[in-house]
Structure 1
Amino acid sequence: MKLVKTIVKTAMMTGISVGALTQASIAYAQQAPSEEEEAQKFDNDAIIVTATKREQTLQEIPVAVSVTSAETIEKAQIRDLIDLQTAVPTLRVSQLQSSANTNFIIRGFGNGANNAGIEPSVGVFIDGVYRSRSASAIGDLPNLQRIEVLRGPQSTLFGKNASAGVISIVTQKPQFTFGGSAELSYGNYNAIIAKADVTGPLSDTVAASISGSYNRRDGYAKDLNLGIDTNERNRWGTRGQLYFEPNDKVSLRIIADYDKIDEICCVAGNVLNGSTGAIVNALALSSPGGVGIDAQNPFSYDVYTNVPSENNIKNYGFSSQLDYDLGGVDFTSITSYRVVDSFSNQDSDFSAADLIGRNSNDTKIDTYTQEIRFASDFDGMFNFLLGGYYFKENIEVNNQLLFGTQFRPYGDALIKGATSGALGLSRLAAFNAFGAIPTAVGLEETFGALEGNPTKYLGRFFANGTGLNEAYGMHNEAFSLFGTVDLELTDRLTLTGGFNFTKDKKEFGTNVQSSDAFAGVNFDNPLYAPLRFNLIYGGALAGGATPAQAAALATANQNNPAANPLNGLKALQFLPAFLNVPNSVEDGKTDDSNFSYTVRAAYEINDNLNVYASYATGFKASSVNLSRDSRPFLADRTALTTAGLLQTNQSYGSRFADPEKSRVIEVGIKGQWDVAAANLTIFEQSIKGFQSNVFTGTGFALANAGQQTTFGIEFDGSVSPTDNLTFSGAVVYLDSVYDSFTQSATGDISGTTPSGIPGFSMTLGAEYNMPIGENELTLRTDYHYESPANQFDFNNTNLALNNYRRTVNALNASLTYALGNGFQATIWGRNLTGAEYLTTLFPSVAQTGSISGYPNQPRTYGISAKYKF
């Protein structure tokens, strides 16, 4: 096995036997540190981490974790989690079609955007509170202490099981010393960022803090049809805290926050222009220059749409954390209630042709969580942590997908193209994008006449304002028990075992109504036999058959679905009738339970070098398809037929995806010396039943992969040749593959590399601090690289897309001059190399053969001033 061979080789190189690769002690939650301890948290000699529920140095902690300090975030001008990936190469963050849809990926594993029924595989926690959807975690970063990125499944230390990893954001608690800061930044695209915070005592036992932020920027993309900027920033938020410490054994921290986003976002550029491109441009003659799309030019940042995109997100809630020292055992309780209210609407055909008139999403999520922990702090060889976690969530989703004013002529052109001009929508009106003579056979008149009502369908196929009205709901209730036990066998050797038992129940329902008349027509209807006869007869004559042969063929096949000459038009039945759930066959419920565990060991070779090894499993419960692609399982077809529930043109897919089960084998070496530090991790991680959510052109197909596996090597380190100069670097190698994925949206893709995962990525940085009297000048730079990665899960790769493989070469830099009185000024720039890459590729909406993609953010730069007091 690749991992074992690599472990043995590494052990031989370091002079350590594999048997000695055992894991360091996991210790537990302690009382909140003093202000003096807080001030020392990011001393170069001891970066403090709380990933294991106790403060430990980065060298001591026996897990793969990357830590980004508040100082680094400030100097590097990291504004949100999207920026964070340039500092943590094992993390990838992609913003998709709206401000509310952001996908987090660690070690090549991650999902959860674009569907409110899917929990992310990467869990985001802010001050110990789980943020269940990306819309609740993408706002501007609050007054930070640090961000910890834990790689691999996390179950025994976080009550909410995370199958791929955890992003843990730790903010500053209120202080008993008065202080604060104010910051103002201005950059290109008229970017203005203002932040302020203040903290101090209200009494000897009560401290408080309040902070606020405002982030505004003009769009860096242009909508030339509407004459507006897009991909802008417009968000603000506020956060208040109270901290009670009546004595040295009890503390209570209460947090309330509110943030709002109101933005025009996000553009998609045309990557490949398919056969529909000419039709789109012909329909867009009223736009400037008659341009419908900027064909195959995704980095022009120029788009043509009919309506500006709307993104309105309100995210708010409160939490409380009670810590109580019981004497040898610490008790912690974290309670939270959160609300995400998100609305978006987008011209999702991304063209000046009015094809999609409305694609709106209105989602509201209410989440309540309760966690309790008991953690020992004994002097002996034995210590434990035992906790319980409760999670309750309600989700309501209301969507609309409606045809625009030009989808009718667009559909007519598609039908003519698919039938070589033999058929069209109607012979009563010339719905032809190119002004040709109307077709002789109009489907609306013909279908209606054959059904005995010639006017039944007139003007209804692809009519403006028709489509889907969607409503979805889900209630989720889960609880878990978790814990770990430490056995410190010697002063240097510690064994640890942990467990997590999770019970998760979901109930869901849909109320989706389709008014797409064309999608509601059954082309195999026996009443349409005369039309099918004539089409087969004419087609046979064109093929050189005699009239008698043609008539015999048409007679034999006019009621044969496999030989239906209208079959080629079924791909244009975009929004068919929807079978709602629950029904007499499908109960709309999932019920999952799982036992996950961790076995770890660590050995402290000396005061500078630790080694560890671990085996861990993880779990994520079933995810529900709360989208228009929610379809009954094929296995239920017989029961649905018997019950008389099948809809016209019934198709099959999934109502939900089964749980993910992950496991990881990992070994690591951590070293820290006076002038250098280094960490090396080698792992093999896999997820059985990985929940894949792939866009198909009109919706998202949710399906389980058989198994996805990643072998990887992660290295990060730093060296300080002088007190003023530090070099840092992080390198990640990933070899990821779908071991088995036979039922993907594009067929059997077993043995292929999952999309968007670079084989090699790295971040190199340098920081130089030059004292100038009582002042200091700091120069910081970092370079982020990702090797080329395919952006599609294909079983037959389109070679033309090789030019659009994601490759990242981004340089960031800042120059800060800090005065001794607390004032500092910074000149900064991000993506100074002007790197261009597509974060995600997808099939263009209702445009067969065309591919679209989201371009990355271009070069940004500016100046900021900050005063700390």
Structure 2
Amino acid sequence: MLKKSLRTALFSFTAVGALSSSQAFAQATDAAQAAPAAASTGGGLSDIVVTAQRRAENLQNVPVAVTALNQDTLGNFRVTDVSDLTGLAPNLQILSQGLQSIPTISIRGISSGVSNNSVDPKVGIYLDGVYIGRSVGAIFDLADIERVEVLRGPQGTLFGRNATGGAISLVTAAPTGEFGVNAYASYGNYDAFRTRVTVNLPALGPLSVKVTYLHDQNNGYMKNLIGGRSINLSLRDPSFGTLTYGDRFGAKNVNAFQVAARLQATDNLTVDYKFDYTQSKTMGSAVQLLGTPAGPTAPLAGGILAFQPLFGGITNLSTTRLDPVANATSPEDLNVQGHNVTVTLHANDNLEVKSITGVRSFDQQPNIFDLAGTGGIRFTAGQLAALLQGNVPGVFNPAVAPGPNDSMFSLLTSRKTRQKQFSEELQFVVTTKAIDLTAGLFYFHERSPATDILGIFQPVANGVVIPTPFDSIFGSGVTESIAVNSSMAAYAQGTYHVTPKLDITLGGRFTADNRETILIRTGSPGVGGGGILPPGTYKKSYEKFNYTGILTYRPTGDITAYAKIATGYVAGGILSAIPYNPETVASYELGLKSELFNRRLRANFAGFYVNYKDLQIQTFQNGVQRFENAGKARIWGVEAEIDAIPVERLTLSGTAGYTDFKYLKYVSELGDITDIVRANYIPKWNVRLSGQYDFPEFGGGGNMYFRMDGRWQSKAYPGALPTGVPALDALAVTRPYWIVDGRFGLVNLPMGGVKLGASLWVKNLLDKNDVFVFGPQVINQTAEFLVGRTFGADVTVKF
């Protein structure tokens, strides 16, 4: 019963959100050279071209809620990490928790970030048109991003399954065919050093090539009190061997390489090849304890914490930010690479045919993360046995006292995984005076093995993780599986221009998914009883039709109004040999896009209402981890994006989003908890305000600028359920906070045949150290705090 209750509690946290992190990627235009991008000739706002409907279109004419961040915009915000995208689009939330490998991305209240290889994300990520199948596989430090498009709302027709929240499209730059060098270097506190060199080679006939190298490192923002210690996991799984805890939290060392080649075979035929490779070694975030939630293990967890002062242990227990802390977290070694071949044929003035072929893979080496923040605790298996038997004096028996290298995890998590994927998409884009049509065929296949070690109240004797009889009580052990998934789809979306002002768009997509899980083992090696479920191969297939309907009206050339209905679904799957069904979404949206006052004001608005059915909830039943379709929800909200040039050389911009998420039905192993469950990590309000002033040109084209950016979000809850301890509930809330950034710089200064740029920047200017993310409300309530103020200088040279 204890095992069942504990596991139910453990995974209730991940019912609507999971262990997550952020990864780094580089902007194509560096901050030192990016600033003056707002105004076009004549002093108005520049046109923005997007491919939100799989064809190049002006942002203001597209009946889609999309935020486009081009080279200059990314540079202006100094986007060097996926988490930096938070707040740049309304209702876009990206959490950074734990290891720097799994981004949890939430768009309009629908989150993506589960790391299990049998569970698909809910926000699709695309790189140059290639779908990234795994959240871990999205970890790449790209050296030449040309633009980022954030599409909000279901994209089930043109982008397919696993985009119920929306999609993020990353587009890298193509070679220019002209010789050029763009070199960038940045240095900041915590010994942060970042450099990038891009070389465009002269065209060799019809062939153009560009090569980029990037290096990014820092020394971490906080010391780990137990850094350098080792832990041996061989008795759980020999392939994990011995891991060493990292010295400093947040440290990283990344090397990335990219090649882009374009072959202009004929006037009508273009072949683009792109290769990216990222090798990273990163350290997770610091985790500390706030308290112990109510539950079956509360007396045990609380007792172990209470004894720590007597045995020299480190609890990391505090309601305010600690520096340093002690976490049993090892650096994470991750290699990601991908090949992409895009062939574009302009058959005639009305037809374009495109083939997008992608091959990608990642390899995540064994790592350990101290999810419960208790790696500094000193306790032994003998002491645990005494405490479970109610023999408190036995805890002080010298025969079972902890040695200098003995410890105990409240919650140990260790994993290794890898993935290979292949995808092919064939697109047909038809453009006529009366009709625009986009149609295509899509195929995706992946194979992803993974091994996970879970230890609950896990003793570590002299640095070695040891199986114990308690494994069968708490559910500790090893799970090894292989996910083999494939998907096929056919889609079409057409727009009929009824009049020059009125368009009708209809689209549909049929998808067939085949899911397979090869379960190699589950259970507790070294403990009698074997696996929970027998090894075997488990298969399941799903079919789904999604549709889109849009009515677009343009009363003038500067105003676009639209009404839209769109559906989407997240594929079902198999977890712990138990199938679960797809999750579906139907979204209703009204939007208005406008450019006013001679294009000095751009104001875009959207309102949406979403029905969310067959909500996939991760839980445990009868000791088995599973996903079940246990819920319904409704979401409604509004969004605004405004850019303005009120006077010459001054640019103001801002975004605002409101999301109201409510569960209509939530049934778990605990029963019907609809009345008490709450949306987690979904702030109702999020706001961004930005201002930039460009000083008059000097020195033959040089320009100085000053820029400030502020992002604010309202409070959010970290878990679906209260902790059961009122004092802890009062702490376990992400409070409203502002993050303010600033930069002063110089761009495009001609000097000796080159153009120079330099800037001074600061992030988190107000040095906020609020709690921004919480760990699972299991055994111990943990928290991570915002990284404090960072600052530095950038230099760019172009020729």
How many angstroms does 1:142 deviate by? 2.9
Residues 198 and 209 in structure 1, CA contact (< 8 A), matched pair in contact too: yes
Decide whether aligned partners of structure 1 residues 301 and 666 sit closer, same or farther in structure 2, where only a CA change above 3 A counts. Answer: farther
Q: Distance in 2 between matches of 1:745 and 1:779?
A: 55
Which of 392, 395, 405 is matched with 2:448 structurally?
Answer: 395
| SS of structure 2 residue aligned to 1:303 | coil
Q: Distance in 2 between matches of 1:714 and 1:404?
A: 45
In the alignment, what sits opposite 1:657?
580
Decide whether aligned partners of structure 1 residues 617 and 610 sit closer, same or farther in structure 2, where only a CA change above 3 A counts. Answer: same
Q: Distance in 2 between matches of 1:249 and 1:159?
A: 28
How many angstroms does 1:114 deviate by? 2.9
Alignment pair present for 1:484 and 2:485: no
Q: Distance in 2 between matches of 1:372 and 1:405?
A: 51
Q: Distance in 1 between matches of 2:521 and 2:702?
A: 64
Residues 340 and 364 in structure 1, CA contact (< 8 A), matched pair in contact too: yes
Residues 264 and 270 in structure 2, CA contact (< 8 A), matched pair in contact too: yes
Aligned-partner residue type, residue 310 of structure 1? P
| SS of structure 1 residue aligned to 2:749 | coil
In the alignment, what sits opposite 2:362?
340
Which of 559, 564, 567 is matched with 1:614 structurally?
Answer: 564
Decide whether aligned partners of structure 1 residues 302 and 657 sit closer, same or farther in structure 2, where only a CA change above 3 A counts. Answer: farther
In the alignment, what sits opposite 2:711?
784
Structure with bigger strand share is 2
Aligned-partner residue type, residue 120 of structure 2? E
How many angstroms does 1:725 deviate by? 0.4
- Deviations for 1:745-801, whole angstroms, at most 9, x for unmatched residues? 786135743111111110011111112412111111111011011111016765332
Q: Distance in 1 between matches of 2:286 and 2:80?
A: 21
Q: Distance in 2 between matches of 1:775 and 1:40?
A: 14
Alignment pair present for 1:508 and 2:517: yes
In the alignment, what sits opposite 1:370?
424
Decide whether aligned partners of structure 1 residues 858 and 691 sit closer, same or farther in structure 2, where only a CA change above 3 A counts. Answer: farther
How many angstroms does 1:387 deviate by? 0.1
| SS of structure 1 residue aligned to 2:304 | helix
In the alignment, what sits opposite 2:785?
855
Which of 664, 674, 694 is matched with 1:739 structurally?
Answer: 664
Alignment pair present for 1:474 and 2:483: yes
Residues 266 and 309 in structure 1, CA contact (< 8 A), matched pair in contact too: no
Aligned-partner residue type, residue 668 of structure 2? Q
Residues 539 and 574 in structure 2, CA contact (< 8 A), matched pair in contact too: no
Aligned-partner residue type, residue 267 of structure 1? A
Decide whether aligned partners of structure 1 residues 128 and 282 sit closer, same or farther in structure 2, where only a CA change above 3 A counts. Answer: same
Alignment pair present for 1:820 and 2:745: no
Decide whether aligned partners of structure 1 residues 345 and 747 sit closer, same or farther in structure 2, where only a CA change above 3 A counts. Answer: farther
In the alignment, what sits opposite 2:595?
672
Q: TM-score, normalised by structure 2?
A: 0.81
In the alignment, what sits opposite 2:763?
830
Decide whether aligned partners of structure 1 residues 797 and 376 sit closer, same or farther in structure 2, where only a CA change above 3 A counts. Answer: farther
In the alignment, what sits opposite 2:307?
282
Alignment pair present for 1:578 and 2:506: no
In the alignment, what sits opposite 1:803?
731
- Deviations for 1:289-336, whole angstroms, at most 9, x for unmatched residues? x2421213462243223x441311110120100000111210000001
How many angstroms does 1:516 deviate by? 6.9
**Equivalent pairs: percent with the same residue?**
24
Q: Distance in 2 between matches of 1:601 and 1:220?
A: 51
- Deviations for 1:394-432, whole angstroms, at most 9, x for unmatched residues? 0101223357884699xxxxxxxxxxxxxxxxxxxxxxx
Q: Distance in 1 between matches of 2:447 and 2:545?
A: 25
Alignment pair present for 1:309 and 2:326: no
How many angstroms does 1:257 deviate by? 1.1
Bigger Rg, which one:
1
- Deviations for 1:232-251, whole angstroms, at most 9, x for unmatched residues? 12212101011011332110
Q: Which blocks of at least 5 consecutive residues in structure 2 are unaligned?
A: 1-35, 229-246, 293-297, 378-406
- Deviations for 1:645-692, whole angstroms, at most 9, x for unmatched residues? xxxxxxxxxx24310111110010100122100001011023212223
Aligned-partner residue type, residue 762 of structure 2? G
Residues 298 and 853 in structure 1, CA contact (< 8 A), matched pair in contact too: no
| SS of structure 1 residue aligned to 2:712 | strand
Aligned-partner residue type, residue 739 of structure 2? A
TM alignment of 1:420-569, pairs within 5 A: 460-461=469-470, 467-515=476-524
In the alignment, what sits opposite 1:68?
69
Structure 1 range deviating more: 223-232 or 120-129: 223-232
Aligned-partner residue type, residue 711 of structure 2? H
Decide whether aligned partners of structure 1 residues 715 and 513 sit closer, same or farther in structure 2, where only a CA change above 3 A counts. Answer: closer
Q: Distance in 1 between matches of 2:795 and 2:507?
A: 47
Q: Distance in 1 between matches of 2:671 and 2:278?
A: 39
How many angstroms does 1:134 deviate by? 2.0
How many angstroms does 1:196 deviate by? 1.3
TM alignment of 1:587-602, pairs within 5 A: 588-602=538-552
Q: TM-score, normalised by structure 1?
A: 0.75
Structure with bigger helix share is 1
Aligned-partner residue type, residue 776 of structure 1? N
Residues 217 and 251 in structure 2, CA contact (< 8 A), matched pair in contact too: yes
Decide whether aligned partners of structure 1 residues 218 and 503 sit closer, same or farther in structure 2, where only a CA change above 3 A counts. Answer: same
Alignment pair present for 1:755 and 2:680: yes
Residues 42 and 69 in structure 1, CA contact (< 8 A), matched pair in contact too: no
How many angstroms does 1:517 deviate by? 7.5
Q: Distance in 1 between matches of 2:656 and 2:421?
A: 37
Residues 749 and 795 in structure 1, CA contact (< 8 A), matched pair in contact too: no
In the alignment, what sits opposite 1:294?
316
Aligned-partner residue type, residue 562 of structure 2? Y
Decide whether aligned partners of structure 1 residues 513 and 790 sit closer, same or farther in structure 2, where only a CA change above 3 A counts. Answer: closer
Structure 1 range deviating more: 365-374 or 792-801: 792-801
How many angstroms does 1:147 deviate by? 0.7
| SS of structure 2 residue aligned to 1:707 | strand
Q: Distance in 2 between matches of 1:458 and 1:733?
A: 49
Q: Distance in 2 between matches of 1:478 and 1:684?
A: 29
In the alignment, what sits opposite 1:92?
93
Q: Distance in 2 between matches of 1:746 and 1:710?
A: 23
How many angstroms does 1:78 deviate by? 1.1
Decide whether aligned partners of structure 1 residues 739 and 142 sit closer, same or farther in structure 2, where only a CA change above 3 A counts. Answer: farther
> RMSD of the alignment, in Å?
2.9
